[in-house]
Structure 1
Amino acid sequence: MSAQSADPVVGAPSAPAGGSRANTVVFTLMVAVFLSLLDTQIVATALPRMVSELGGLDLFAWVTTGYLIGGSAAVPIYGKLGDLFGRKRVFVVSIVVFLVGSLACGLATSMTQLIVFRVIQGIGSGGLFISVLSIIGEMFSPREGARYYGWFSITFGAASLAGPTIGGILTDFAGWRWVFLVNLPIGVVALLVIITMLDLPARITKATIDYAGVILLVLAIVGLNLLTGWAGSKYAWGSPVILGLAAGSVIAVVLFILSQHRAVDPIMPLRLFRNSTFSIAVTISFIAGFVGLGIVNYLVLWLQTVLSLGVQESGYVLAAMMLGVVVTSYVTTKIIARTGSYRWYPVLSMVVFAVAAVLFATAGPSTGLVPAVVYMLLFGVAGGLNSQALSLAVRNTASYQDIGATQGTATMLRQMGTALGVSLFAALMTSRLTTELNERLGSGSGVPVDKDGSLSPEVLGKLSAEVRLRVSTAYADALQTVFLAVIPIVLVGFVVSLFLKDVKLAGGNRRHSSDNS
């Protein structure tokens, strides 16, 4: 049975959806998103304790990687399932999976168990994120929903800034297991609120699930994530493992696209790309993920190796960037809600990205702390200008039966852009860094630089002033290659964004009176 023909929501009359009940529901949804985002940050501070108790030092990176891969693979699948079976149902399933994974992580007795349970937790997390986006898209019209999409930015910023602190406090006072177990009471309350207060319309109960598409998409996403995470760091670019992952990922992507032509209810309906606004918006999302999130690690590396800032000082400067993202995104969504227009924010975003990249490319060890904060703030402003504007542009193209599919596709492509950006920038930096360090220090310098080009502030601080300046200059020159590479990419994004049509967001609110989902 086709979801399009059987979905009773299409063409349903709209009614006001505001009021305290709607605000309570949206606030609860943000709490669920906060838990999901928090678990990408909170675990880092507890990892040393986990390794100390469980062992498996060679596997500890997978505690984070498994969570991210599980979430990435889940996003487009949950989005489509919400379109087919009802977003409330999918949200409930997602949060239950997330909580079961959290409980299992808190009870894990080995590193292998912990990694498996983190993948499960990540699958629930990805479903939570895309379900909340889709639920807000169904509860409200695009223009009214702009008010609430701004809450995402505040939630993202709060989770990013609070994660390490909360993780440290829980680990020190309650033990590392409570990093996961703390999700249970909060998550159960959120689950009960959504079950009792969220009213959404009935969806079809029977559908032809695209199993082939699900399997191929998971294989493609997992392969691309492993490829971008391992290439140039764990394995050489020309190694059999990397070449095999590259070939396998390409084959999976091609087969997935072919499968979407044949599927009755495809996970990613290719007809969505016939809408020029959707195609342009998701392309810009990919580019924004590539340069906006893909370069964050290298901004931190620049602070610690070029300016020789400590971990805590770097965190404070990074907070300036997060502040730029949160404030700009929130203000932008408020303006979009009032005017109904989103077109020029992605254009301006690419311009600001280019300016920030030029400033970082021309900076060096003599750059002061104040200019560095300003440069970081510019990167944050650039990210904030496009994040919710693009989500709203995508939402504005979707009929009610495709809200999940459109949001899932856009989110997945942004995540893929981020993964590819990290990999490309790592390759550019490490190749240049090796040359620069050899020229300034000699091949036998003994400076302990990791394969990914990282050098801890503690190690840098132990070097003599002369050697430290040489190392900082080498990093500045190597990272200059990264920042210069950003410029042509964002120029492409600038050109593409100029073609984004000025389609006003649909106005009015929507509330559904029945809840059979």
Structure 2
Amino acid sequence: MAPEKNTTAGPEDATSDNGSIEHQRGNFQSFYLEGWRLQVLTLAMCLGLFLASLESTIVSTSLISISNSLHGFQRSSWIVASYLLSYTGFLLIIAKLSDVFGRKSMMVFCLCLFIAFSIGCGFAQTMTQLIVLRAFQGIGGGGISTLTFVILPENVSPAQYPMYAAIVSATLALSSLLGPIIGGAICDNTTWRWVFLLNGPAGAVALVLLLISLPGNPPSSESLVQKLRKVDYLGTFLVLSSTVLFVTALEQGGTGHSWKSKLVLALLVTSIMLFFVCLTWSWNLHHRGNPQEPMVAWNLLTDRFCLGLFLNSFFMGSVFLSAIIILPQQFQVVFQDSPAKAGYRLLCVTLVSPLFTGIAGYLTQKQKVPPLYILIVAQALAVLGCGLASSLPESSREYPASGYGYQVIMGAGFGLGLSTAIMAAPQAFNKKYMAVGMGTINQMRALGMSIGVSICANILSKTLSSAVADQLLPNQFRAVLGSAEAINSISPELQNQVRHAFAVGFTRQMQAICGLAGAGLLSTLIMIEKKPRFLQA
């Protein structure tokens, strides 16, 4: 591909000899990649992002095999939770640290961390070992995910950015959707350890491609000591602790412990207090001109367009992950599908979502449609799809054909929303705040996913408790909540009643995420401007 001059960078632009576009902006110099380097970098980022995101959902269909092998069924939920906790907690932190220590250094560090601890998970001999190793694996995975979206706009010209943002966003959506299918296929054909060990060779390929294609960190006159002084250590602690405590409370509330339990209440209250302390600290650093760079950019939180983008990502994340968890569960429990067949039934979402990320890129890049309009349509489609899905009859023995049409509507909304939020970032954040802005988008999306899944889990638990808890032994009830296969172990006369209770619970869950999508639509409206921003090539 021949280098194409970037017409927005000014008359001082020039095409360099290494397949990139050199441009001057103020007192710094940077390069837009072109040709083979851009293609290789995109492949490296997509592969790394795919692996990191896949780990969030791939173990969902492997938990029974893992817990049977390591003899730890009671703690099996922490295999998922430990990864999500560290993954979510470090999204913003690593994005901000890349401002200080450089994008390439941090990305290489996160990839190495992810690869090393993935291999460690594959060789874990006890449940405790696996849970601890998964937590460190999550730090690397979170770093890969957030840095991918930071590196992208800095190395892709504005003219090509929507297309590449759509490709990377489609990778994110596809990895989350394929996780349960791939995990089930691995466990059906080999040992569960390959769920983690496969990240070794695949991650090594991503690392080599990244080292070849990503430009090195720009020269800096600052010493390591000076860089360390710029780190907002208190802000880092506050962001990490408030996020981890909050997500832990969501994981435990209503399932492992009652929402009224002292543990859950203490976690929630402490996390909320730390969050407000974090905001106060960020405001203080912002207004007093401290050399430390605040972990949370106060000026982004007070900008209406940026705030709307954060809230949109939060609610779209909550709806997206909740839906792709609810639907396969519904297929397996209510319609008694195998995990593989449940995955096939989800193909309408799996295929449509990446397709509409491409459509979003075309609309913003070629048709100059403002991202705001696409975000509004995306949330509206999510509301419509989830609302229609909640209207399906609960007594049906077969999944209605109309349900696939509703999945298409949901998939279209997910594809448009997930990619357009990334495409709108250059219109919301300047270069100085690009990393922390992208990090905040990813942090809000991940928090939304945790809250959405927690809400749905509690709705299902409450529905089943009121319908069948008094007819099942406590251990039977816990087993039924944890695995669809456990329903086959109860008496035949109770199985139909339990499956109907699940069907009612799934309907209520879909109604809840329809409400979350509606809140996302309302929050997006605060981004409305007299002259909506659009992507400029």
Q: What is the TM-score with the length of structure 2 in the denominator? A: 0.84
Q: What is the DSSP-based 3-state SS (H/G/I as helix, E as strand, rest coil) of the residue aligned with 1:39?
A: helix
The structure-2 alpha-carbon separation of the partners of 1:308 and 1:165, relative to structure 1 and needing over 3 Å to count, comes to: closer
One-letter amino acid matched to 1:225: V
The structure-2 alpha-carbon separation of the partners of 1:417 and 1:203, relative to structure 1 and needing over 3 Å to count, comes to: farther
Aligned partner of 2:160 in structure 1 is 144
**Alignment pair present for 1:56 and 2:69:** no
The structure-2 alpha-carbon separation of the partners of 1:286 and 1:372, relative to structure 1 and needing over 3 Å to count, comes to: same
The structure-2 alpha-carbon separation of the partners of 1:280 and 1:330, relative to structure 1 and needing over 3 Å to count, comes to: same
The structure-2 alpha-carbon separation of the partners of 1:449 and 1:314, relative to structure 1 and needing over 3 Å to count, comes to: farther
- Tell me if the contact between 2:104 and 2:217 (Cα under 8 Å) persists in the aligned partners: no
Q: How does 1:340-489 map to 2 (within 5 A)?
A: 340=368, 341-364=370-393, 365-366=395-396, 368-437=399-468, 443-444=470-471, 448-450=476-478, 453=481, 456=484, 459=487, 464=492, 469-489=496-516
**Alignment pair present for 1:292 and 2:287:** no
Q: What is the DSSP-based 3-state SS (H/G/I as helix, E as strand, rest coil) of the residue aligned with 1:265?
A: coil
Q: Which whole-Å CA distance do the structure 1 matches of 2:181 and 2:517 have between them?
A: 34
Question: Which string of whole-angstrom CA distances, capped at 9 and with x for unpartnered residues, describes residues 133-155 of structure 1?
Answer: 11111112455221111222442
Aligned partner of 2:535 in structure 1 is 505
- Tell me if the contact between 1:157 and 1:323 (Cα under 8 Å) persists in the aligned partners: no
- Tell me if the contact between 1:42 and 1:179 (Cα under 8 Å) persists in the aligned partners: yes
Q: How does 1:75-86 map to 2 (within 5 A)?
A: 75-86=91-102
Quick one: which of 242, 254, 261 aligns to 1:232?
254
Q: What is the DSSP-based 3-state SS (H/G/I as helix, E as strand, rest coil) of the residue aligned with 1:151?
A: helix
Tell me the CA shift for residue 67 of structure 1. 1.2
Question: Which string of whole-angstrom CA distances, capped at 9 and with x for unpartnered residues, describes residues 349-370 of structure 1?
Answer: 2221222222222212326432
Tell me the CA shift for residue 161 of structure 1. 5.4
Quick one: which of 16, 21, 39 aligns to 2:55?
39
The structure-2 alpha-carbon separation of the partners of 1:28 and 1:386, relative to structure 1 and needing over 3 Å to count, comes to: same
The structure-2 alpha-carbon separation of the partners of 1:164 and 1:470, relative to structure 1 and needing over 3 Å to count, comes to: closer
Give ranges in structure 2 of 5+ residues lacking alignment. Answer: 1-23, 286-291
- Tell me if the contact between 2:33 and 2:157 (Cα under 8 Å) persists in the aligned partners: no
Aligned partner of 1:493 in structure 2 is 520
User: Whose relative contact order is higher, 1 or 2, with alpha carbons under 8 Å and at least 6 apart?
Assistant: 1
Q: Which whole-Å CA distance do the structure 1 matches of 2:504 and 2:64 have between them?
A: 32
**Alignment pair present for 1:118 and 2:134:** yes
Q: What is the TM-score with the length of structure 1 in the denominator? A: 0.87
Q: Which whole-Å CA distance do the structure 1 matches of 2:186 and 2:113 have between them?
A: 23
Instruction: Report which stretch shifted further, 339-348 or 265-274.
Output: 339-348
Instruction: Report which stretch shifted further, 151-160 or 214-223.
Output: 151-160
**Alignment pair present for 1:24 and 2:54:** no
**Alignment pair present for 1:314 and 2:314:** no
One-letter amino acid matched to 2:401: V
One-letter amino acid matched to 2:521: F
The structure-2 alpha-carbon separation of the partners of 1:451 and 1:348, relative to structure 1 and needing over 3 Å to count, comes to: farther
Residue identity (%):
24
- Tell me if the contact between 1:325 and 1:384 (Cα under 8 Å) persists in the aligned partners: yes
Tell me the CA shift for residue 380 of structure 1. 1.6
- Tell me if the contact between 1:305 and 1:460 (Cα under 8 Å) persists in the aligned partners: no
Instruction: Report which stretch shifted further, 35-44 or 311-320.
Output: 35-44
Q: Which whole-Å CA distance do the structure 2 matches of 1:302 and 1:405 have between them?
A: 38
Q: What is the DSSP-based 3-state SS (H/G/I as helix, E as strand, rest coil) of the residue aligned with 1:401?
A: helix
The structure-2 alpha-carbon separation of the partners of 1:280 and 1:317, relative to structure 1 and needing over 3 Å to count, comes to: same
Aligned partner of 2:295 in structure 1 is 267
The structure-2 alpha-carbon separation of the partners of 1:362 and 1:162, relative to structure 1 and needing over 3 Å to count, comes to: closer
Q: What is the DSSP-based 3-state SS (H/G/I as helix, E as strand, rest coil) of the residue aligned with 1:25?
A: helix
Give ranges in structure 1 of 5+ residues lacking alignment. Answer: 1-7, 508-517
Question: Which string of whole-angstrom CA distances, capped at 9 and with x for unpartnered residues, describes residues 24-71 of structure 1?
Answer: 111112111122123234444554454444333332222221111111
Aligned partner of 2:240 in structure 1 is 218
Q: Which whole-Å CA distance do the structure 2 matches of 1:412 and 1:58 have between them?
A: 29
- Tell me if the contact between 2:121 and 2:196 (Cα under 8 Å) persists in the aligned partners: yes
Question: Which string of whole-angstrom CA distances, capped at 9 and with x for unpartnered residues, describes residues 241-284 of structure 1?
Answer: 11111111112111211221234301111111233211111111
Q: What is the DSSP-based 3-state SS (H/G/I as helix, E as strand, rest coil) of the residue aligned with 1:108?
A: coil
Instruction: Report which stretch shifted further, 158-167 or 363-372.
Output: 158-167
- Tell me if the contact between 1:84 and 1:203 (Cα under 8 Å) persists in the aligned partners: no
Aligned alpha-carbon RMSD (Å): 2.9
Instruction: Report which stretch shifted further, 21-30 or 471-480.
Output: 471-480
Quick one: which of 264, 270, 276 aligns to 1:254?
276
Aligned partner of 2:109 in structure 1 is 93
The structure-2 alpha-carbon separation of the partners of 1:118 and 1:503, relative to structure 1 and needing over 3 Å to count, comes to: same
The structure-2 alpha-carbon separation of the partners of 1:10 and 1:251, relative to structure 1 and needing over 3 Å to count, comes to: farther
